[in-house]
Amino acid sequence: MAPTPSSVTIDLSQYRGAIFDLDGVVTDTASLHREAWKKAFDQFLEQHHLATFSTGDYLQFVDGRPREDGVAAFLDSRKIKLPGGLPDDPPGATSRWAIANLKSAYFDALLTLRGAGTFASSVALILRMREHSVKTAVVTASLNCSRILAQGNLRDLFDVTVDGRDAAVMGLAGKPDPATFLEAARRLRVEPVHAVVFEDAVAGVLAARSGEFGLVIGVDRYRNPSALREAGSDAVVNDLAEVIIY
């Protein structure tokens, strides 16, 4: 296959591990998250006669971050003061946690209705990497990782998973902090410099870069490659079909 203008070639002799973000890289669930966030934020914003939540807001303040961090970042961007509340605040309560939990309720409903689509090119790349004895991990802020992997028959693709539940139990900071990526590398028993990270979110790219991973590949699902490059991607592709390995 001839390389495309955005393709990247990886010499796997330099790497022993590959770490993949889930939503938007392996599975086509980022669109469900974006829709759930819009429903949750707009319900609050419309009550206060404020401008609605946009795709740009999603990419800049929410994408790739833990729920509570995303709520805080977006509300701070609008200079909206709201108490943090408690993690079990029900949807409808007046707190940041309540908005986060409303988003989760919307996402659960969308996931049940539409299911978790999978990017075939991503699965193919993961399988090829495993054939080359590269260890694989998935890292996500999602609390639904196990459910999504099960729906997509993806569990056997990964040696390690680090998700939002692991982060909560272990007290790991979310992206753009590198803690969850570093935990995945630790579980894989691979030094970060010998691992490749695949990310579609600016927060995730920043996390991988600050974690000093050997190679950071941005996956541009939103046709915004400059943001991923500026965050520190070594290369940006539109799809993992454009990643050539040997």
The residue assigned the tokens 């079909």 is: 241
- The separation between the first and the last C-alpha atoms of the chain, rounded to the nearest angstrom, is 13
Are 235 and 59 a contacting pair, CB within 8 Å? no
Q: Is 234 a catalytic residue?
A: no
DSSP 145-169: HHHHHHHTT-GGG-SEEE-HHHHHH
Tokens coding 62: 């929410």
Q: Which of 21, 28, 159, 177 is catalytic?
A: 21
Distance CA 204, CA 216 (A): 10
Q: Is 23 a catalytic residue?
A: yes
**Which value, to the nearest 10 degrees, does the dihedral of the CA atoms of residues 168, 169, 173, 174 take?**
-40
Distance CA 37, CA 102 (A): 9
From residue 116, give the alpha-carbon distance in Å to each of 23, 31, 160, 223, 240.
Answer: 9, 10, 20, 22, 18
Q: Which residues pair with 138 in a beta bridge?
A: 20, 161
Tokens coding 7: 């393709």
Nearest CA among 94, 89, 114 for reference residue 33? 114
Distance CA 213, CA 209 (A): 6
Q: Which of 11, 23, 63, 76 is catalytic?
A: 23
Residues belonging to the active site: 21, 23
